[in-house]
Each structure stands twice: as C-alpha cells, then as structure tokens.
Amino acid sequence: MSAALRIGVTGLGTVGGGVVKLLGQQADILEQRCGCRLELVAVSALEHDPDLDLSAPRWFDDALALTADPEIDVVVELIGGAEGIAKAVAESAIANGKSLVTANKALIARHGLALAQAAETAGVQLCFEAAVAGGIPILKALKEGLAGNRLSRVYGILNGTCNYILTEMQESGRSFAGVLQEAQALGYAEADPSFDIDGVDAAHKLAILTSVAFGCPVDLDALHVEGIREITAIDIAYAAEFGYAIKLLAIAELTERGIEQRVHPCLVARNAPIAHVDGVFNAVVAEGDFIDQAIFEGHGAGRGPTASAVVSDLVDIARGIRVPSFGLPVAALQEQPLAAMLDHVCEYYVRLMVLDQPGVMAEIAAILRDESVSIESVVQRGRAPDEVVPVIIITHDAGEAAIRRVLDQFSQLEVVVEPPCLIRIETL
C-alpha cells in the first residue's frame, strides 16, 4: 500500500461537506486503521459551505477534469441524480482507472449494473454503502456478515422523511399536510417532497437491496410503489385502535411465485420491533436460514451518518478489501422470476368516507361477498343522517386483484364521497 489513498470529491453539498469534515477530523484514526493516509487531494462543486476548509485540496471547476487527474486514486461522486453530470463523472472515473465511491441511490438503481461491469473490466472498485440507509452498514452486512445465509426476506423503513411524518401524525393527531409543512421547516423534507413521500427514494434503495440480498440484477421497474400522501389522521387513529402502527415499508421477499418487490404504507402490529422505529430513523430487517432474523437500526440520512458510510467504503479500498459491488460478479447475478403484485395475498385495511344513510352497509357487504372477500371486523360510527362518516373494514386474507375490484365498485357507489383508502396489513 502506498503512503496515501488520494481522494477526489465531486459535489460539496450536505454529504460532500460531511465527507470533507470527517476526513479532516478523523485523519489520525483513519490512518491507524487503514495503514495509510486518506488524503483529500481534489474537489469540484458548483457551490459549497464557506466554513469548509478547502485550503489543501486542488479545486476543479470541471468535475470531469477531476476524474482524469492522474494524481487521484479514488473519485467520490456526491452530486446526485441518475443522469447528467453525476452519471458522466461515474463513467469517466472508472474509464480513467479510478475506483468510484458514491452515495447516489438513483444512479445505482438505474445504472449500477453497467457501472459495476465497467469497474470489473477496468480492475477498479465500485462502492455505494451510503446509497442505502445512510449510516446503517446494511450492504456490508448482507454482502459480508450474512454471506453464509440464504435470505428469504429483507424489509425495512428506508425513508426518514416519511417515517418522521407518520410518527408525528401518530403522536400529535395532526394532518399529513400540517406535519409535512413542519418537516420542510425542519429540513427533513425538501421544498418538493414528492421524491420522498411518493415512495421513489425508498424504491431506489429497495432495488439495490434486492439485488444484493438475492443475487439478481437490479430491476427498479419491477417494483410496486406507493407513497403516503393519502394517509390521514383518521387512518392513524383507527390503526392504533386496532393495535397497529402505520409505516412506509420497503419489502423484498422470496415467494413461490418469485420475488416480490414493493414499497407502500403498511399496518404493522404494535408489538413488532419495526413499529417502534420512529422519527427520522431507518431500520432494515434481514431474514435468513441460519440467522433467523437480524435487525439494523440507525440514522438513514444526514451529513454525519451518510459521510460515515462514504468513508467506510474509502477505508475498504485503502485496506485492499475487494468485494463485488452487488455481492457477486455481474456475470453471476441471476435473473429471478418476478411475483406480480396482483397475485399478492394479505389482510387489508379499507377506509370509506360515506354518507350516513340506511342500507350503506348492505351495499358494501354485497360487493365484498360477490368478490369472495371476507370481513374480519368493521367499524361504522354514524353521527347524523346524511353526514359523512368513516367506515373502516379489516379483511381476512384476500387477493390483490379481488380487493382492487372491490375498491373500483366502492368508488361507484353514490354514498361514497371520496376515493377509498387501502392499506395492506403486513405480518412481520
């Protein structure tokens, strides 16, 4: 090993600034643990925190020029986005014989296989621990610590913004819109929060987790994705009454029909460990034939935790640890059958907002009967004639296709005044 691992960082936003800070503050301990210095020699960004000490590294106005510098061993891409300059930086770094470290889940979910193949061909490394669950070292755990297991299911809370919103709704009884506004004011949600609250961020992370857990190619388009926009304070309250919490879960599971990959709100029993993961925290649960169950919890985002994950990849490179990007060489990743979401079977929570009139329950029951969907419990608390009231239905196990037909028919009833709300009940 040379005296130093020479690092170039592109992108000096929240995470990039954290990496610069960590490399500086922890320089001594990192050198002791790696056997060489982790030396920041170059940076490139459109803007940066003026408090960052950038007196030592060379500045590049052109990020692509940085990737071609022969004085750099590893390029860290922290620009973000699946296309454009971030993709160009990643491809150029590998083409120039440099290992690449990134926190860019969108890039890896869309182009990770091509980048991994290019890295293998070039004899360099592609590392992206920080792309999934921030400071939780879940990819290393799956690729290394749990390598002796055949995994059957991996699931978790992969988006801190959604978890914060659902937690605050549960604890305060406030509306989704009100808590979202607070999350934006606190910096937990972006000005345009759709990437988080519509489930896209969690989907990118789950696509990567699925590949690593099950040795298959990344397939973002195979995921079923729903967000939390339609969750109301009414749903939170009734879920608690039935003994559940509502969480946005990302789930990859081996079934007889193939691999299910889905992101959506779930009712989870209050005695399930993941039901108690609150606020901006993330958690991932891995189930395998020898470990039974392993639970990982921690900060899933933020400057410090994500920078810690980025630097953990730099440490591996400095130590000479070489593990395939997805746990297996790209050529060894095997296509797996994909389980169709319409074939999914579970219990369901359904909320209808209806006019409180005689005969409403009879119409609802007839539709469920005709689709062979059995009711486990139902709650209707009327107030006055023609007032809009919630009807809450918990079903026994039913097929996804049947429950969607039920919802379509519910929507056509004159007494149903807004689109039905459907939340799956997950057994964990």
Active site residues: 205
- What are 6's strand-pairing partners? 39
Helices (H), 193-302: 194-197, 200-214, 233-241
Question: What residues contact residue 286 under an 8 Å CB cut-off, 6+ apart?
Answer: 138, 141, 142, 146, 149, 151, 153, 154, 213, 293, 294, 296
Largest CA distance in the chain: 82
Q: In angstroms, rounded to a whole number, what is the distance separating the alpha carbons of residues 369 and 187?
A: 47
Using an 8 Å Cβ cutoff, are 99 and 123 in contact? no
Do 215 and 327 form a contact (C-beta atoms < 8 A)?
A: yes
- Measured CA to CA in angstroms, residue 353 lies from 127, 162, 169, 175, 370 at distances of 48, 24, 20, 16, 21
For residues 418 and 286, give the distance between their C-alpha atoms in angstroms, rounded to a whole number.
38
Whether 203 contacts 219, CB under 8 Å: no
CB 93 within 8 A of CB 69: no
